[in-house]
Structures are given as C-alpha cells and as structure tokens.
C-alpha cells in the first residue's frame, strides 16, 4: 500500500473530504461505519435522511441498518446516563463534555426518524434518485422495476438466431451443428456482459476471406483425396500396417485405433465425398507426425501421395474452420450489441427499468448537460456518504459517485478491501477500485484484527507477506500490509493433548500407482481424499466434545463461556456445489449432521429436474412415456423392474394413469398448490408419501427443502400466467438456464446445531470458530471450451473476446486475472476462522511441462495456495503472461517431500502458529453425547398483552369485528334492505343492476380507471364492458352503466356546505349554483384514486368518540347521533388505516368523494335527502368520512405551506350511484364538517 496510507482513528478522522478506508478482514469495518455515522449525527447535526449509506446486497443493507440503529440507541443511553462501559460511547461522552443536551436532542431526532434513514443497496439508491429527481434525470415517473430481464434476453437471442442463423445451410450450418452452437449456448456467452456497453470494449477484426472460395478449395481437396484413397488406398494401408508392426505409432494411432481409422476411410470412399472424415485429418502428413512414436529415433513417419492429399484436405479444412470461427465470433459481437439495443427497446415499450438500467440511466444523466444540476441535487439531499464494500464497485457505479462527490468538501468515505474483491462474475471490477483509490483525498487502513486468535493472524500475515511471495496477490496494485491481533480476552478452543496451534495443514498421504510406484493424486481421488480427511477430523473433534474434552472456553462478547464444541461451530468452505456434496456425503457416512449454504439456484438441483418430469406427466397424463419417466424419479420411488411389472398389470397401470389425470384436474380446477399438496401426501406402492420418501435419503431435509421451494416458486408463477402449458414452459426454461436471483437461491434446510458447508463466496463477511478448507488445491481457472474471454488490457480497460485476434494471449491474460481473484478468494477463506483453520494439501496432479505451450492448463499449479507456497524462483523476472507456465514447470516433477519442505518453510515463518499433520482417514462415526431427558411443559404468561395496540380501520370499527391485518379498499358490502312483499316496478335501469360486493367493486373500477374529461362514448362502452366481464357481470348492462357514468360525471354537485335538499326528483333543473362542481371538468392531474393513508392513534374508544361527536357546537345531525349511540367497538391504540375512493382539487380546495353502490329502493324517490341520511347513519358512513377528513386534514397540513382548513378543505361527497340525477339533488350526500369538529377529533386521536 502507498506510504501515505494512515491508520484510521474513527474519533479524529476529518469529516470534510473524500476518504478511502481499506479494511482488512476482521478489522471492524461495520463498527467503523457505525462510528462515523454517529459522528456525522453529533458533529454535523445531519439528519438520518441526509447521510447516504450504500452497500451491495439487501441482506447487508438490513444488517447495516440494524447495526447503525443499535449504535445510535447505545450512544443516546450513554449520554442520558453520563457514562458507558462501551469504549466507543465513553470516548464520545468525554469529547462532548458540556454539549450533552445538544447530543441527546440530535440522537433522539435520529432514532425517532430512523425509518427515513437513507441506507440502500446501490440499486435502491439509484432508484430513489431517479424517482425523486425524475425531471433532472429524464426518467419516466411510472417506470416499473423489472427485477428479472432474463425472459426478455431469451426473446432477443431467439430473434437474432432466427434472423442470422435460422436460414443457414451447407458447410456453415454443418459446422455450427458440429460445434453445438444453439441459442442457449449463445445466451450463456453474452448474459454476463449485458448492460456493460458503456465500459466494455469488444475485440474485433476484419471479415474473413470469401467463404465461397474456401468452400471450393475444400471441395476440390476432398474430391482429390477421395479419388486417391479409392485408387491407392490398398498401398497406403499396407504402408500404415507395416509401420505399426514396427511400433512406429504412439497410442493415438496404433493397433485397433489405426484399424478404426482405415475402416472409417473405407466407409467414406464408398459414397460421394460430402464431409471431412476425422480419419483423413489423422492420416495426413501432419496428423501422422503427431501420432509418430518419436522415441523410435531410426524411424520417420510414413510417406505416401495419399497422405499428402489428406494434408491438402487438412489445410483447406483448417482454413475453412478458421474462417467460420472468425465469422462466429463477429456474429456474437453483433449479438451482444443487438441484445443491448433490443432490451432497451423492449423495456421502453413496457415502461420498465432493470437493475442495469438504474445504474446506467443515473450515470448517463450525470454525464449529460443537466448533470451538474443533478449532482448538486444529490449532494443537497445527501450531505454525507458512506459507501460500503467499495472493492465490489464497477465503472458505472464509480462514475456515479465520482460525478457527485469527488472534488467536493463533503464527508465521503469509500470503505472496502481490495484483498476481498471476489465478485467479478457479478460485474465487480478491481481495476476500477484501484483507479478510484488514486482520486481520493486521503487513504486510511484498519490494522487491528478483532476476529481471530493471534496465531491465525500471524499465519495469514506470513502467507501473504512479501517474504513468502513478492506478488502475494499477483497484482502490483494490491499489496499486503500485515495486521495485528486485538489485545483482548477471548474464547479459545481447548482440546487437552492437542497442540495449541491455530493454523493446521492436513497433508494427504503418498499416492501409489497400480504398480505401487509413488505418484500424484488425480483430481477425482484427491477430491475424495480431501473430503474423507476433513470428515474424519471433524468426527474426532466432535467425539472429543461429546466426552467433554473439546470445549470453547474464555470470553465472548464480554461474557464468560465454557461449552462443548458443537457442530454449528464448524464450517467447511468449498469452491463449488459439487464439492459441497462430497463433504456432505462424507459427513453423513460418519453420522455427522450438516447443512449447506451457498449461492446455487434451486433450479440447478436434482429435485428440479425430477419435479419437471412429474410436472410434464401431470400436464399430459395420457402420454405413457412421460408417466414412466415420472415414476422412475426418486420422488415417486419406483425402479425399472416395478415400472415394467406395472405395465404387465393393466389394472394397476390404469390406476396410475387415473391418479395423474386426477392431479391434472386438481391443478386445472383448484390451482397448483392444491394439486401439489395432494401429490405430496399421496402414498406410493411403498406406503410412504413423497415427504416421507424424500426424508429417508441421507440428505432428505435438503431435498425436501428444495422441493417445497420449487413448489412455492411455481405457485407464484402460476398466478402470473394464463394456462398450465405456460407454467410448464417457464419451469422448463428455468431448469435449462438456472438463474441466481435472490428468490431462487437454495434455502437453508435447517438451523439446528450442524456442521455448515459453505461456498467461499457465501462465507464472505461471516465468521466461524473452526474452519476447514479441503479444496484449496483445486486450480480450475477456465473451461476448455470457454469462448467468451473477459480480461483487461495493459491500460486496465475491460475487454471481451469471442475468439478474434490473439485469442491465446487474451486467454493467458484472463487466466492471470482469474488466478489473482483466486488469491483474493483464498484470503477470504483463510480469514473466516476465529480459533482454528485447517487446510488440506498434498501432491496433486500437475500437467506435464515438457511442451513449450504456455497457454493455461488446470492443476495444482493454477491454485492460489500453490502460488504462495511454491512460487516460481524467477517470479520477479518472468513476464506476467507466462507466470502460470513457470509455476507449472516447478510443480510438474515435484515430489511429496519437496512439497512438504515448502510447507515447512512457511510454517517456520509463523512463529509456532502452524502445525503440519498427515491426514488421518478413517471410518470412525460420530457418537453424540446422550441428551438428558427434559420434561416439557407449557410456559406461563407473566405479562399482560397489549391487545389494544393494533392497526384498525373504519371497516373494523363499523363491523364491531376484529382488526383486519391487511385493510383493503372499501367497495361496499352487501347491505340488508327490507323490501315490500310486492316489489314496485323500478323507474330507472340502475335499480335492477346486480347487488353485492362484486358489483360494487365493479362500479368502483369503472370510475377509478376512466379519465373523467374524456368524451368518447365508444371508448367508454369498451371500458365498461371490460370491467363487467372482469367481474363476471353480464355485458348486457353496458348501456345502462354508461348512461349512469355519463349522468354522474355531468351532474351538478351542490356545494358541500349547502343544505341537503331534494325530497322529490328535479330532473329538469340543470343550472349550476355558485360553488357547484361537475366531475367531467376534473383533469387527471387534479385527482387521486384510492388514496391510502395510515395515521397514529393514541386512543380511540367509544366513550371518547361519543364525547366529541355529541358536542352540540359541532352540529352533527340527530340521525347520526342516534346511530352513534348504537355503535360499539373495542378500544383501539395504534394506527388508523384506510383508502379514500377519490380525492380531487377544484379552485384550490380539496374534496373527498366516495362511490356508493348501495341499493336503497327501486325508484329514484328512494334516493332523496332523508333516505340518504338514513343510509349514512345505518352504515355509519358519517364516521367514515370524519376519519377520512382527519386523514386529509393532516396530509394537507404537511404538504401545503400556510395550510388552513377553511381555505383549503372543500368538503365531502357520497354519491349513491344508482340514484344520482343530473341536477345533483338526488343520490348525492354532501357535507363540510366544521373546522372545530375536525380539530377536536384530531386532538382527541392524538391525545394532545
């Protein structure tokens, strides 16, 4: 690290600049962030919504929010008491002597308003800015957040494939098929690079030569070779066989393999030449040279004119292949550009924004002409910023913060650790971090490890020190500065008779060949050896714990502890899901319960594939092949013999067909989850249901958790999609392309005290008492057939190559970057342990170094730990791109003793912290200590429940019923109406409109989704018809409802403070009176439908409500007072929640309007003022609009400067839709409660 980097003192670090804090693992990064946050509250007087805190996952955001709040609460308590046992709090108390009252006020304000704290993920922050500054950023107000754009990407790739490849013919089509090119494979290549067009450059080159010429050359060469073999084949065969008898060929060409090549050519020559046989390539001059046994010094490869003809075929074939490879790579370049553009277009059409768009749009806006104004707006909003996990930034994210904060005298802290930058697969870019570091005003480091024992700290310091390897992280920009262990009391693992060393190597024993010669472990065997040795050591520790001999004793978080070591104290860190399974199996075989944690998609599991087979059979129960495939799954539990026997027993087979048909019917008629539960509980031939059958496996809990998770996701999708086929197609796509979105990640199957199997990526940020790292020798860097190569050039720019230019050099550069990230991943793995860390190591296979090829290969030499333990001797001199070749050369012939010697050299540098043990692999089983019998009894409640504190609503109060947890808009329940025995004939159509909650909801929807000022009868009719259909009402009512809507919107609504009139219809009167309103004049920007509110209630009880409403000065109508006397409800404390059907503005005044579909009688005369008052009283609607008025009164008071009730509140309308007349004298209830009544209600609810 640069010399200018200083140790951070959280109490004195300046709060007026952009600072970088590099926090090594375990050094208290989160503690530091909470401390800086507290100082910003106390010293700068900032509010919680002015301090921006950004981290990179929702889980981290939730944890950080909780930690910050806890720090503020502890700090407030410390100031109130004047002292604290917490060192941080006491230090600040001492610094603020004489300013305690100010500190208490600021902390109290921060805690009381903490719900407004600006603690976000990076995407949450961008979304907030784009929404709050929509004009400045040019963003759509109503854009929907698209959390998963994978479906759109699939469509874009399929469209490109159809256009560019769908019509391919001839050699090009055959070559694509031979290379197994499909839309799915292309999708895998480009998906990680979508949305990065602003900073990712593609490698490109000129178009290849004319394919027509190349095809003609290949055709001519094939014809010549075909004719040559036909005429001279016998002589060539004799020559080849004779050479083979002299042992002139190596294994690729000799014996049966040579005969197979000859047979292939004999078959090929019998037909006209149309394809290039592999045998022709193998028996060409160059192919024979490769297959020549070079140990036969006196022999030369056989020569014949036919072989030269085959060589011409090879050359033409290679030229054609090279041309096709270039064409394919350029096609993928165009595909990526097409998909980026197509996604933008698709999302714009749908008015959607993806996570990529949130970042790109904000960055683009900040770079635009309005950028300085937008940046100023963000700075005005967020006067300080704490950016966590900054090592995981990318060019777009940093560009945002650079435009907003760099160069400004504001407190900004970029907190991260480049040694833990391990998320390049998510788009993190370490080169961006390194560039950003140079742009900061000050750089600090945290240099005290609070997590691990001193021995572990010494071991990690030694492993990554320059003495061990001058380039510990392979990148000169990332140095290593050792940390010190905190001087504090802590718990330790105590095992009598065990060495006290904290860092331990488990060395694999010597491997032997079939001939008992010493050899290296192959990767497959090494995996099993590592898993077995890890499981054996875990069993030893847990058995000692069961005997009371392995304990964790000492002090943890200020408390004395002395307890047996438990399974939950142990974590096994693995690179992959496959290796996690090996550990799980090895532990299960020894009786050790374990649980897996990782970042794998549940759709990538065996349960997903098996459940897909079952779903396919349920969807098409008459297709017997699908049924057989479903029955053969472990979920259904039948083996091949049982299935074959079933088909010989027609009756039993028919029963299975009927059972799947039954599940199909349940799904179609009652929904997916109903079917799934029935299927899950159905006993099979073994008399076990699916749950019991799955739980019988050694990893049964894992399997059942996956299955239930899949069912939950399928149920969600079932609600979104129309038809069973669509759901199945979605599930098939998920299995084909498993995504790792948060809701699809595998869940923890148990939280019991079990050994935890965790991927190294998942372990970041976590800590465990005991850690095992069995697979650090696994050097996998790159798939052999990988075609999308991402790397950085010499200038640090992100590049992507699909196979053009110097692809081999770019693969070397990419491999070097991947090894560098593996070194950072190694650092993460080795810094998770608190008490002890185990590493499995040994003599693992390394590819031969005899060739001059320095392209990447896979083996021990490409593992990160090998780079540190066994560095090449010329590490300071070898060019970067060939470093992997140098270490491969060193390890290719290394013996186990030499490997052990390197490990011992390292151990000597750790000052006694490291022990080297031979892995002891045995079959000993875990013998848990017997659990004492515990007599269970029900707990006794010793406190009173705060039953009054809850969320209430008008509906709950008026119905005298329980509180509804999720209050919904009130769309009129069925109202009992006493009708005469002989019902009078109705005198208007809406009198006969269906009654009840559903018709009421329908009429609400008609008005809610119609634009009042629109004069379009055809569009209105279509809208009404759509709503009637959606609510299951005959569309024959369309005309009547349209007439009603027209009447209501054009009716002259009297001023709310005018007296109720209209005892007889006044249909001819259409004159507007002063203050009257017609709804058809209300534009969309002056109204809000279904306005939701929630406000605080100190106390809401019957006696208090009657006391306020009975006050004579409030002039509540007697009919309402009488209804109030009949009302009864339980006392409420907590919150009042509800939805106002409509709030609109007219001439600077705001009105509440409620649509009522109540049926009051068959004639218009039933909707006079007297009848409306009776209905309002009967259903306690007077209380509803008073509750609504208080809500709007409070809302307007917060939003309008100089708000006054008499000036700004207009009144209340209740429109009884079945009886509204054009003059507004019938069917319209209006009122404008007095200000004194509303103020009295407001103060009473607040208990002021």
**Catalytic positions, please?**
1154
Establish whether 684 is an annotated binding residue: no
Establish whether 23 is an annotated binding residue: yes
Of 445, 452, 458, 456, residue with least CA distance to 486 = 452
Of 330, 314, 322, residue with least CA distance to 209 = 322
Q: Tell me the C-alpha to C-alpha distance, in Å, between residue 518 and each of 67, 349, 514, 784, 1040.
A: 55, 67, 10, 29, 94
Establish whether 25 is an annotated binding residue: yes
Establish whether 793 is an annotated binding residue: no
Establish whether 1154 is an annotated binding residue: yes
Establish whether 26 is an annotated binding residue: yes
Measured distance CA(588)–CA(414) in Å, rounded? 44
Measured distance CA(203)–CA(183) in Å, rounded? 21
Cβ-based neighbour number of residue 134 at 10 Å: 14
- For 584, counting Cβ atoms within 10 Å of its Cβ (0-12 exposed, 13-18 middle, 19+ buried), the class is buried
List, in sequence order, every residue forming a beta bridge with 554; answer none if it has no partner: 561
Q: Using a CB cutoff of 8 Å and minimum separation of 24, what contacts does 1240-1246 make?
A: 1240/1108, 1240/1111, 1240/1114, 1241/1108, 1241/1186, 1241/1190, 1242/1190, 1242/1193, 1242/1194, 1244/1099, 1244/1104, 1244/1105, 1244/1107, 1244/1108, 1245/1095, 1245/1096, 1245/1097, 1245/1098, 1245/1099, 1245/1100, 1245/1136, 1245/1190, 1246/1096, 1246/1098
Q: Tell me the C-alpha to C-alpha distance, in Å, between residue 406 and each of 20, 365, 381, 439.
A: 12, 17, 16, 7
Q: Angle at the Cα of 397 (from 395 to 400), degrees rounded to 5?
A: 105
SS (HEC) of 1007-1053: HHCCCCCCCCHHHHHHHHHHHHHHCCCCHHHHHHHHHHHHHHHHCCE
Measured distance CA(636)–CA(630) in Å, rounded? 7
Establish whether 1083 is an annotated binding residue: no
In the three-class reduction of DSSP (H, G, I as helix; E, B as strand; rest coil), residue 191 is classed as helix
Using the structure block, give the residue that is written with the tokens 């990680």: 192
Using the structure block, give the residue that is written with the tokens 């990640």: 745
Q: In the chain, helix, strand, coil percent, each to 5? A: 50, 15, 35
CA dihedral sign, ordered 786, 289, 287, 222 = positive
Measured distance CA(300)–CA(26) in Å, rounded? 64
DSSP tag of 180: T
Establish whether 24 is an annotated binding residue: yes
Establish whether 933 is an annotated binding residue: no
**Contact (Cβ atoms closer than 8 angstroms) between residue 320 and residue 215:** yes
List, in sequence order, every residue forming a beta bridge with 71; answer none if it has no partner: none
End-to-end CA distance of the chain: 60
Measured distance CA(435)–CA(418) in Å, rounded? 12
- For 1008, counting Cβ atoms within 10 Å of its Cβ (0-12 exposed, 13-18 middle, 19+ buried), the class is middle
Could you list the beta-strand ranges (E) of 524-661.
551-556, 559-564, 570-574, 594-597
Measured distance CA(1202)–CA(537) in Å, rounded? 74
Measured distance CA(392)–CA(56) in Å, rounded? 8
Using the structure block, give the residue that is written with the tokens 């009054």: 948
Q: Angle at the Cα of 887 (from 885 to 891), degrees rounded to 5?
A: 115
* Residues contributing to the annotated binding site: 23-30, 1004, 1141, 1154
Q: Which residues are annotated as a binding site for Mg(2+)?
A: 1004, 1141, 1154
Residue ranges of the annotated binding site for ATP are 23-30
């Amino acid at each position: 690290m640069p010399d200018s980097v200083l140790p951070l003192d959280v109490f004195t670090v300046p709060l007026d600049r952009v600072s970088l804090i590099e926090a090594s693992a375990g050094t208290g990064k989160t503690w530091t962030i909470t401390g800086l946050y507290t100082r910003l509250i106390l010293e700068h007087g900032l509010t919680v919504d002015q301090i921006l805190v950004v981290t990179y996952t929702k889980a981290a955001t939730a944890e950080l929010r909780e930690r910050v709040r806890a720090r503020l609460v502890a700090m407030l308590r410390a100031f109130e008491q004047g002292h604290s046992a917490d060192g941080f709090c006491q230090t600040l108390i001492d610094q603020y002597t004489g300013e305690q009252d100010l500190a208490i006020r600021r902390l109290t304000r921060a805690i009381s308003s903490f719900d407004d704290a600006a603690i976000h993920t990076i995407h949450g922050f961008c979304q907030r800015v784009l929404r709050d500054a929509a004009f400045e950023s040019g963003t759509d107000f109503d854009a929907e957040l698209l959390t998963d754009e994978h479906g759109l990407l699939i469509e874009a790739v399929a469209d490109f494939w159809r256009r560019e490849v769908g019509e391919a013919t001839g050699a090009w089509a055959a070559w694509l098929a031979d290379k197994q090119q499909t839309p799915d494979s292309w999708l895998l290549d480009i998906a990680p690079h979508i949305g990065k067009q602003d900073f990712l450059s593609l490698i490109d080159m000129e178009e290849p030569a004319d394919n027509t010429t190349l095809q003609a050359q290949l055709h001519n060469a094939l014809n010549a070779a075909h004719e040559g073999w036909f005429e001279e084949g016998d002589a060539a065969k004799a020559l080849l066989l004779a050479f083979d008898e002299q042992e002139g060929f190596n294994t690729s060409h000799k014996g049966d393999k040579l005969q197979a090549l000859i047979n292939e050519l004999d078959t090929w020559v019998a037909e006209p030449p149309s394809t290039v046989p592999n045998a022709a390539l193998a028996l060409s001059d160059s192919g024979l040279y490769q297959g020549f046994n070079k140990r036969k010094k006196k022999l030369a490869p056989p020569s014949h004119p036919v072989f030269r003809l085959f060589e011409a075929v090879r050359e033409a074939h290679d030229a054609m292949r090279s041309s096709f490879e270039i064409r394919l790579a350029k096609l993928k370049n165009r595909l990526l550009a097409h998909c980026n553009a197509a996604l933008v277009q698709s999302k714009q059409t749908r008015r959607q924004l993806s996570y990529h768009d949130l970042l790109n749009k904000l960055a683009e806006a900040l770079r635009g002409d309005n950028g300085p104004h937008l940046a100023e707006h963000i700075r005005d909003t967020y006067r300080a910023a704490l950016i966590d996990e900054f090592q995981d930034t990318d060019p777009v994210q940093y560009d945002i913060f650079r435009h907003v904060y760099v160069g400004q005298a504001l407190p900004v802290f970029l907190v991260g650790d480049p040694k833990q930058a391990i998320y390049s697969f998510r788009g993190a870019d370490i080169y961006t971090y390194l560039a950003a570091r140079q742009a900061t005003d000050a750089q600090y480091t945290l240099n005290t490890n609070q997590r691990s024992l001193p021995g572990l700290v010494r071991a990690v310091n030694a492993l990554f020190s320059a003495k061990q390897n001058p380039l510990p992280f392979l990148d000169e920009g990332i140095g290593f500065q050792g940390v010190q262990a905190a001087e504090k009391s802590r718990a330790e693992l105590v095992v009598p008779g065990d060495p006290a060393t904290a860092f331990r190597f488990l060395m694999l024993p010597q491997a032997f060949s079939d001939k008992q010669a010493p050899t290296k472990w192959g990767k497959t065997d090494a995996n099993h050896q590592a898993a077995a040795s890890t499981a054996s050591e875990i069993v030893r520790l847990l058995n000692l714990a069961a005997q009371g001999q392995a304990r964790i004793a000492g002090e943890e978080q200020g408390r004395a502890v002395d307890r047996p070591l438990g399974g939950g104290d142990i974590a096994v860190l693995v690179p992959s899901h496959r290796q996690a399974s090996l550990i799980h199996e090895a532990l299960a075989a020894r009786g050790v319960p374990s649980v897996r944690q990782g970042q794998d998609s549940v759709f990538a599991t065996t349960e997903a594939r098996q459940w897909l087979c079952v779903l396919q059979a349920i969807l098409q129960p008459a297709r017997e092949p699908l049924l057989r495939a479903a029955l053969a799954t472990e979920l259904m539990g039948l083996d091949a013999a049982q299935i074959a026997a079933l088909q010989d027993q027609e009756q039993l087979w028919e029963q299975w067909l009927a059972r799947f048909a039954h599940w199909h019917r349940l799904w179609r008629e009652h929904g997916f989850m109903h079917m799934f539960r029935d299927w899950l509980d159905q006993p099979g031939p073994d008399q076990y249901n699916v749950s019991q059958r799955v739980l019988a496996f050694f990893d049964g809990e894992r399997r059942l958790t996956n299955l239930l998770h899949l069912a939950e996701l399928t149920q969600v999708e079932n609600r979104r999609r129309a038809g069973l086929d669509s759901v199945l197609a979605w599930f098939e796509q998920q299995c084909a392309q498993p995504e790792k979105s948060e809701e699809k990640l595998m869940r923890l199957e148990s939280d019991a005290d079990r050994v935890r199997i965790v991927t190294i990526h998942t372990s970041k940020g976590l800590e465990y008492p005991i850690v095992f790292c069995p697979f650090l020798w696994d050097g996998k860097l790159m798939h052999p057939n990988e075609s999308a190569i991402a790397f950085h050039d010499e200038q640090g720019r992100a590049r992507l190559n699909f196979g053009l230019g110097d692809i081999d050099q770019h693969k070397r550069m990419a491999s070097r970057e991947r090894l560098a990230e593996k070194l950072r991943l190694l650092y993460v793995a080795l810094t998770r342990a608190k008490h002890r860390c185990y590493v499995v190591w040994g003599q693992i296979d390394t590819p031969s170094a005899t060739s001059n090829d320095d392209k990447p290969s896979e083996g021990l030499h490409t593992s990160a730990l090998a780079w540190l333990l066994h560095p090449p001797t010329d590490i300071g001199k070898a060019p970067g791109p060939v470093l992997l070749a140098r270490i491969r050369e060193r390890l290719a012939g290394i013996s186990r003793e030499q490997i052990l010697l390197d490990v011992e050299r390292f151990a000597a540098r750790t000052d006694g912290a490291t022990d080297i043990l031979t892995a002891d692999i045995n079959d000993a089983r875990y013998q848990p200590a017997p659990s004492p019998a515990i007599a269970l009894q029900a707990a006794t409640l010793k406190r009173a429940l705060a039953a009054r504190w809850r969320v209430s609503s008008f509906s709950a109060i008026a119905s005298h019923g329980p509180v509804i947890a999720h209050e919904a808009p009130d769309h009129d329940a069925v109202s009992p109406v006493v009708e005469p025995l002989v019902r009078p004939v109705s005198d208007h159509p809406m009198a006969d409109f269906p009654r009840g909650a559903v018709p009421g909801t329908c009429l609400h929807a008609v008005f809610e989704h119609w634009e009042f000022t629109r004069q379009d009868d055809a569009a209105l009719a279509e809208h009404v018809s759509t709503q009637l259909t959606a609510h299951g009402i005959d569309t024959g009512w369309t005309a009547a409802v349209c007439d009603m809507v027209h009447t209501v919107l054009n009716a002259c609504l009297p001023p709310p403070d005018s007296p109720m009139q209209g005892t007889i219809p006044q249909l001819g009167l259409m004159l507007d009176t002063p203050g009257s309103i017609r709804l058809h004049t209300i534009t969309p920007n002056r109204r809000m439908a279904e306005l939701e509110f929630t406000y605080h209630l100190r106390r809401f009880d019957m006696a208090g409500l009657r006391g306020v409403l009975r006050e004579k000065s409030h002039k509540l109508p007697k009919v309402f007072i009488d209804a109030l006397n009949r009302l009864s409800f339980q006392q409420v404390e907590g919150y009042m929640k509800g939805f106002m059907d409509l709030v609109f503005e007219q001439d600077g005044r705001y009105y509440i309007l409620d649509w009522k579909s109540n049926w009051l009688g068959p004639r218009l005369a039933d909707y006079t003022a007297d009848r409306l008052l009776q209905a309002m009283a009967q259903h306690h609607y007077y209380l509803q609009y008073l509750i609504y008025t208080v809500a709007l009164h409070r809302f307007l008071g917060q939003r309008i400067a100089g708000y006054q009730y008499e000036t700004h509140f207009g009144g209340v309308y209740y429109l009884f839709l079945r009886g509204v007349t054009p003059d507004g004298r019938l069917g319209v209830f209006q009122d404008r409660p007095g200000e004194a009544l509303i103020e009295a209600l407001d103060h009473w609810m607040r208990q002021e």
